[in-house]
Structure formats: C-alpha cells, structure tokens
Amino acid sequence: MGIEKLTDKEEKQEKIVTMFDDIASTYDLANRVLSLGIDISWRKKGCDKAFEILDKKHLGQVTDVATGTGDLLIYWKEQAKKNGVVIDKYVGIDPSVGMLKVAKEKVDFAEFIEGKAQKLPIEEGSTDVISISYGIRNVVDRVEALREFHRALKPEGIVVILEFTKQERKRFVDKFVDFGMKKVLPKIGGFISKNYEAYQYLPESIEEFLTTEMLSKELEDAGFEMQYTESFSLGISTLLVAQKSKK
C-alpha cells in the first residue's frame, strides 16, 4: 500500500498543530502577559452567560474543544460553583499532544482526549456545553467543526465561542489596536516562547478570519440559534453563544 498524501487543508492543519506543540510550555505565560490578564474576565463571562441561558442547576458534561492547556475548564468549574451549578464531567479535547501534556499536569478534575474539532471523539448528543476559546480560528475545516458541535450537543445544548474576530477598523483608536496586534504582540510572544513565527501567525490569522456577523451566520447554517454576542476591549475579543434546538 502506498502512503496517503495529505490534502492542502490537512497539511495546513498539521502545521498549526505542530506550532502549538512547540509553544505549549510557555503558552499560559504568554497569554497572561499579552492580555494583561484581561482574558480571564472574558472567559468567565462566557461561562456565566452559558449558565444563564441554560438555566439549569445540574449538567452532565462540559466539553472544551481546542482546550490547549485546559485554562477554560478551570473557569468552567469556578463559575459553576459561583452559579450553584453541578457539573458531573469535564472533558478537554485538543489535537496538540504538547498542549495536552501541560493540561494534564495543571487540571486534575478533567478527562483529556487527543482529537480534532471537526471529528470529536465523543458520542452524539452527549454534552450539555461545548466551548472553544481562541481556537475556532485555527480549525481549517471550520464549517465541518460547527456541524460536529451540533451533533455532539444535547438538545438545547450551548456552544460558547471566544475568538479574535475580524473587525472593521474605522475609529482612530483602532490604529493603536492594530499596531499592538501586528507589531507589539509578535515581539513579546516571540520573546517569551522563542518562537517568533507562531506569534506572527496570530495577527495574520485574525486578518484572514471572519467578522462576528459571518461567524454567527455559519453557526446558524450549522443548525444553531444565536443567543448572545458581545465584543470586549475595543473589539479585540468577541463572545458568541448559540443554542441547539430542542428537537
């Protein structure tokens, strides 16, 4: 048998996964420094909004996709306690073995599985929540992944997306945001991780990504009903919450 050749999409996805393997050990530090810790409040807001929309005090499972080092799972647990919500099971899924190694050392209450967003290793209708923070931009087959989220969620299940969506830069202050993202961020992230290419990829990937409206439309096309959107910090980050129908 011959060796199967990867498609262009598969090659691009593998390159992204390898990049995250390379920066896994410094990923948390770089995130905190680059966001000045503000990303923590963004993540907590996503969890709180999901609990508010679900309006349940007992959930079977929360699944964090492209979980990286497991950061968001920590906030899911913290905010569940504050909201009086009991969650039976936490699952983190990521294609990067390097990221999962860090996650397993950091988070002792969750199950971690190597896997891709476009082919989740969980059963149909098995999870109440799927979250993905700053990861959907890195999924090459994004439309396929959104359909997969819909498959894996229970009826009325919630998908929570935090992402750097593409913004129309018309305000004066947007020039400073662009300068920070394109010039400052790659230098600081590159210095911390010693991988300048990885942090040059970040602003480039945002420029190539969707607007909030476009991503909302893709969620609706995948069978979701949009429930909430909010932009944070001059439009740098966006929260999108969508829900699967009862049927």
Confidence of residue 24 (pLDDT cuts 50, 70, 90): confident
pLDDT (tens digit per residue) in 45-78 = 999 999 999 999 999 999 999 999 999 999 999 9
Confidence of residue 7 (pLDDT cuts 50, 70, 90): confident
Tell me the C-alpha distance between 30 and 199, whole Å: 10
Say if residue 34's pLDDT is above 90. Answer: no
pLDDT (tens digit per residue) in 158-181 = 999 998 876 655 654 555 555 455
Query: Could you tell me if residue 72 is left (phi over 0), alpha (psi between -120 and 50 degrees) or otherwise beta?
Result: alpha
What pLDDT is stored for residue 206 in this prediction?
Answer: 60
Tell me the C-alpha distance between 171 and 176, whole Å: 10
Query: Could you tell me if residue 234 is left (phi over 0), alpha (psi between -120 and 50 degrees) or otherwise beta?
Result: left
CA distances from 177 to 148, 168, 189, 198, 236 (A): 34, 12, 16, 19, 8
What pLDDT is stored for residue 2 in this prediction?
Answer: 43
| Average pLDDT rounded to a whole number, residues 221-231 | 95
For domain 8-244, the CATH class is alpha beta
What pLDDT is stored for residue 234 in this prediction?
Answer: 62
Say if residue 3's pLDDT is above 70. Answer: no
pLDDT (tens digit per residue) in 108-124 = 999 999 999 999 999 99
Per-domain boundaries in the chain? 8-244
3-state secondary structure of 17: helix
When the pLDDT of each residue in the chain is averaged and rounded to a whole number, the result is 84
Backbone dihedral angles phi then psi of residue 85, each to the nearest 5 degrees: -105, 130
Neighbouring-strand partners of residue 112: 92
Say if residue 210's pLDDT is above 80. Answer: no
CB 47 within 8 A of CB 79: yes
Nearest Cα to Cα of residue 137 among 206, 72, 204, 79 = 206
- For the entire predicted model, the pTM comes to 0.84
Say if residue 79's pLDDT is above 70. Answer: yes
Say if residue 235's pLDDT is above 70. Answer: no
What pLDDT is stored for residue 162 in this prediction?
Answer: 93
